[in-house]
């Protein structure tokens, strides 16, 4: 072990929520972490850390940490293990993987790896590329609907930031998000804005911790966010509050659409070339878009061999169907409240929408997010100057993984496609599953199906983890991974909130017999004949990552050792749509009848016949003291919230004869879970909530993901990949027997 001073304060980055980039200073005595405190930044406003990070040493030194490589003995899931050496483990794993490749081909080995921090990703990505395996695209476990909408509207995965990044908003709408519990950096910005006089409105079925600190809380029926946004657009256009100049210059609003096929009219339709067309009111003719001096029409019908209308005209007609009165019946939000919020959003400029993950976990959430993007667009509340983000660095090409993979092109698969790949061999068979940094079984929907159908179809399962969690318990081999405090890595801000690159410095040497994920990838690569690609130090590979991407060239490892280095300042990131404009009208979705962001009911709706049997909508939000399932076993955090409880409004409990503290059964036709009941008026009637991330052993019986389904929205799947609809779930509740 490398000799360390008796006392040291080491600046690093919290690895618990990669991409959030909270700086931490570790106080170390004789090689043992004694405490964490928030680290300094060049900008003091960025300093701070949550309870999770400040108590992380209790996670690192948890008595249940995996200490040695383990080999399964007997049937999967029976809890019997044999301790083996690293040499034995690496030899056996490499042999098993070679057998799978010989039988099914290299693509049949799928690796599910957390995307960041970068060195862990680069190590596994390089290994996967060299072995021609498959890298699992982890977006899609409830977080892909928003990026799908943003790809359609802006051509960017994180296009929603353009409706968010205003330094001094007059109005802030926190939509489907609870940053008070899950994102203290964002909550700090919201509270700062509120002190300056900004009004804060929270849209959420729950009166969350964020809603409790807002000026107004709007509780809507789950999954109806898109209808609310369309109702607001209706009001904006009805009252003439739209930003005509922005619509004209930056959007597809003036582009002519053929009503016979729903496609943009192009020059080739009238003159043989390919650009889009507008109707010029000055000349009374169709002209190529973008010619200086034109006066494009936003309304009207024009006959150019076929009837054509401006895209804005089509939007205007569509939203006429969504009057506040009709939307009120859909969302349970009073019509007057819809009118008031729409008017404020259009006039209290700049106005910002903090769009969260909550609304993205409904089956048609891509439409909801597109409707919100359209609302921001027609009011001109879009700021095309935005910070450098994750996709600019890691995915400079749309949807592409651009890690240093030694020149090998990566085969990828969305995580929700694994269900069919494993059980049906579609789009190709997956027969071995290797997992690092993701508790697959605990966190993905329809857990009973995973255990009963997916796992038996796999010939080999490898898990690299810190604990013997739910996924690890079903593995054939388990490798003990060191935490982010026991290895070196590189981090940057996922969404620009902390716009600094930082070195995640090693604070202590790896405990027990643990190895970093990068070292695990390197060990396997050497055994599989690719050692020459992993023959340098981790510092060297960080330097390679820094040199790989034009967006961060000039940043050096030596600079990062001295402290955070500011990423590029806000940039005018180009739109990546086919038209080069903001596309609230999506030509490519005409065959799906979703060229405009219409409203569709949730797939499990309280208005359906099914609701007679299962009348309650179940939400499974993120917890204040966990990062997904990580930290769920830390005693010092369990003191604040020792067990899972179902939140329910008293009126729903009364009709079922239930009382606070009762043990209840939450069930549907997929499964059931037994848990204690907590009555609270913070819940909207007909909605219940159970925090996600708890492990099965925390429940009296069952698990919350036994209740969820793996139904896939085909439109989302075709655009960017399938997304889990974890909040689109109906249940019933009764007293447990």
pLDDT digits (tens, 9 = 90+) for 380-390: 999 876 655 55
Q: Interior CA angle at 79 toward 77 and 83, to 5°?
A: 120
Nearest to 717 by CA among 139, 13, 17, 74: 139
Nearest to 695 by CA among 643, 621, 618: 643
Quick one: fold of 70-141+392-481+516-535? Rossmann fold (3.40.50)
Residue 278, token pair as written in the block: 């507008």
The Cα 222–Cα 204 span in angstroms is: 8
For the segment(s) 159-253+298-388, the CATH number from 3.40.710.10, 3.40.50.12280, 3.40.228.10, 3.40.630.30 is: 3.40.228.10
pLDDT at 396: 34
Residue 558, token pair as written in the block: 């030596």
The dihedrals phi and psi of 407, each to the nearest 5 degrees, come to: 80, 0
The dihedrals phi and psi of 492, each to the nearest 5 degrees, come to: -150, 170
pLDDT at 705: 95
Other Cβ atoms within 10 Å of 728 Cβ, number:
25
The Cα 211–Cα 204 span in angstroms is: 8
User: Are 362 and 728 within 8 A, CB to CB?
Assistant: yes
Q: What are the structural domain ranges in the chain?
A: 70-141+392-481+516-535, 159-253+298-388, 609-735
523 pLDDT band, cuts 50/70/90, is very high
Evaluate if residue 272 carries a pLDDT over 60. no
Q: Interior CA angle at 231 toward 226 and 235, to 5°?
A: 145
pLDDT at 140: 80
pLDDT at 19: 66
Evaluate if residue 164 carries a pLDDT over 80. no
Evaluate if residue 69 carries a pLDDT over 70. yes
pLDDT: which is higher, 344 or 47: 344
Is the omega angle on the peptide bond into residue 77 within 30 degrees of 0, that is, cis?
A: no
For the segment(s) 609-735, the CATH number from 2.40.40.20, 2.60.40.420, 3.40.50.300, 2.40.30.10 is: 2.40.40.20
Domains 70-141+392-481+516-535 and 609-735 share a fold: no
The Cα 104–Cα 131 span in angstroms is: 14
Nearest to 682 by CA among 215, 208, 178, 173: 208
Task: Give first-to-last CA distance, the chain, whole Å.
Answer: 55
- The torsion region of residue 132 among left (phi > 0), alpha (psi -120 to 50) and beta comes to left
Answer positive or negative: Cα dihedral of 326, 327, 328, 332.
positive
The Cα 346–Cα 380 span in angstroms is: 8
Element (H, E) at 285: strand 285-288
263 pLDDT band, cuts 50/70/90, is very high
The Cα 498–Cα 492 span in angstroms is: 8
pLDDT at 395: 42
Q: DSSP string spanning 46-78?
A: G----HHHHTHHHHHT-TT---S-EEE-SSTTS
139 pLDDT band, cuts 50/70/90, is confident
- Report the DSSP pairing between strands 134-137 and 109-113: parallel
Evaluate if residue 73 carries a pLDDT over 90. yes
The alpha carbon torsion through 246, 249, 252, 254 (nearest 10 deg) reads: 100
What percent of the chain has pLDDT above 90?
Answer: 73
pLDDT digits (tens, 9 = 90+) for 191-236: 999 999 999 999 999 999 999 999 999 999 999 999 999 999 999 9
pLDDT: which is higher, 165 or 698: 698
399 pLDDT band, cuts 50/70/90, is very low
Q: 183 by DSSP, 3-state: which?
A: coil
User: Are 504 and 488 within 8 A, CB to CB?
Assistant: yes
pLDDT digits (tens, 9 = 90+) for 408-449: 567 889 899 999 999 999 999 999 999 998 888 999 999 999
Nearest to 650 by CA among 666, 668, 662, 633: 662
User: Are 480 and 65 within 8 A, CB to CB?
Assistant: yes
Burial per residue of 159-192, b for 16 or more beta-carbon CB atoms within 10 angstroms, e otherwise: bbbbbbbbeebbbbbbbbbbbbbbbbbbbbbbbe
Q: How far is CA 538 from CA 46, 408, 437, in A?
A: 28, 20, 19
720 pLDDT band, cuts 50/70/90, is confident
618 pLDDT band, cuts 50/70/90, is very high
pLDDT at 393: 53
């Amino acid at each position: 072990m490398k000799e360390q001073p008796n006392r040291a304060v080491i600046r690093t980055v919290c690895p618990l929520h990669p991409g959030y980039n909270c700086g931490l200073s570790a106080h170390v005595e004789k090689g043992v972490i004694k405490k964490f405190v928030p680290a300094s930044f060049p900008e003091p406003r960025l300093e701070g850390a949550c309870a999770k990070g400040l108590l992380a040493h209790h996670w690192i030194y948890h008595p249940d940490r995996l200490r040695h490589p383990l080999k399964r003995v007997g049937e999967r899931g029976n809890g019997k293990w044999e301790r083996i050496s690293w040499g034995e483990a690496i030899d056996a794993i490499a042999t098993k993987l070679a057998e799978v490749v010989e039988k099914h081909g290299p693509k049949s080995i799928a690796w599910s790896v957390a995307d960041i921090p970068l060195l862990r990703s680069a190590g596994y990505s390089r290994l996967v590329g060299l072995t021609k395996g498959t890298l699992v695209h982890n977006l899609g476990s409830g977080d892909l609907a928003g990026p799908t909408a943003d790809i359609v509207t802006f051509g960017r995965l994180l296009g929603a930031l353009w409706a968010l990044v205003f330094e001094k908003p007059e109005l802030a709408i926190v939509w489907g998000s609870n940053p008070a519990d899950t994102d203290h950096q964002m909550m700090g910005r919201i509270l700062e804005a509120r002190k300056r006089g900004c009004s804060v409105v929270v849209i959420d079925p729950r009166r969350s911790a964020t809603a409790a600190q807002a000026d107004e809380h709007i509780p809507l029926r789950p999954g109806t966010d898109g209808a609310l946004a369309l109702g607001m657009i209706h009001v904006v256009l009805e009252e003439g509050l739209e930003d005509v100049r922005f619509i004209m210059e930056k959007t597809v609003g003036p582009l002519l659409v053929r009503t016979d096929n729903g496609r943009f009219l192009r020059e080739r339709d009238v003159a043989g070339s390919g650009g889009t067309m507008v109707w010029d009111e000055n000349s009374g003719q169709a002209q190529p878009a973008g010619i200086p001096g034109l006066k494009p029409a936003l309304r009207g019908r024009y006959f150019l061999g076929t009837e054509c209308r401006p895209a804005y005209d089509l939007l205007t007609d569509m939203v006429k169907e969504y009057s506040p009165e009709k939307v009120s019946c859909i969302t349970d939000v009073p019509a007057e409240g819809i009118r008031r919020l729409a008017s404020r959003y259009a006039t209290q400029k700049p106005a910002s929408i903090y769009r969260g993950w909550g609304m993205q976990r409904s089956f048609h959430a891509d439409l909801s997010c597109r409707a919100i993007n359209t609302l921001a667009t027609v009011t001109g509340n879009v700021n095309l100057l935005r910070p450098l983000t994750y996709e600019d660095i890691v995915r400079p090409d749309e949807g592409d993984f651009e890690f240093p993979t030694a020149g090998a092109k990566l085969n990828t698969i969305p995580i929700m496609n694994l269900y069919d790949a494993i059980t049906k061999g579609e789009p190709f068979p997956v027969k071995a599953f290797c997992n690092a940094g993701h508790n697959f079984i605990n966190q993905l929907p329809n857990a009973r199906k995973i255990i009963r159908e997916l796992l038996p179809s796999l010939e080999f399962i490898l898990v690299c983890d810190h604990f013997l969690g739910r996924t690890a318990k079903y593995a054939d081999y388990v490798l003990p991974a060191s935490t982010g405090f026991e290895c070196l890595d590189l981090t940057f801000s996922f969404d620009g909130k902390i716009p600094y690159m930082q070195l995640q410095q090693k604070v202590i040497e790896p405990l027990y017999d643990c190895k970093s994920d990068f070292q695990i990838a390197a060990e396997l690569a050497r055994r599989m004949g690719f050692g020459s690609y992993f023959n340098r130090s981790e510092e060297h590979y960080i330097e390679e990552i820094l040199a790989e991407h034009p967006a961060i060239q000039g940043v050096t490892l030596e600079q990062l050792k001295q402290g955070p280095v500011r990423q590029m300042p806000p940039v005018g990131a180009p739109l990546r749509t086919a038209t080069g404009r903001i596309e609230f009208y999506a030509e490519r979705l005409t065959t799906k009848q979703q060229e405009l962001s219409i409203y569709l009911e949730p797939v499990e709706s309280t208005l359906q016949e099914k609701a007679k049997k299962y009348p309650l909508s179940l939400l499974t939000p993120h917890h204040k003291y966990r990062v997904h399932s990580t930290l769920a076993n830390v005693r010092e955090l369990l003191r604040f919230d020792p067990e899972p409880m179902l939140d329910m409004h008293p009126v729903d409990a009364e009709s079922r004869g239930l009382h606070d503290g009762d043990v209840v059964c939450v069930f549907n036709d997929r499964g059931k879970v037994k848990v204690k009941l907590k009555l609270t008026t913070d819940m909207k009637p007909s909605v219940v909530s159970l925090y996600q991330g708890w492990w099965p052993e925390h429940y009296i019986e069952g698990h919350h993901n036994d209740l969820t389904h793996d139904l896939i929205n085909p439109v989302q799947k075709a655009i960017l990949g399938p997304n889990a609809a974890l909040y689109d779930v109906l249940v019933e509740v009764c007293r447990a027997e």
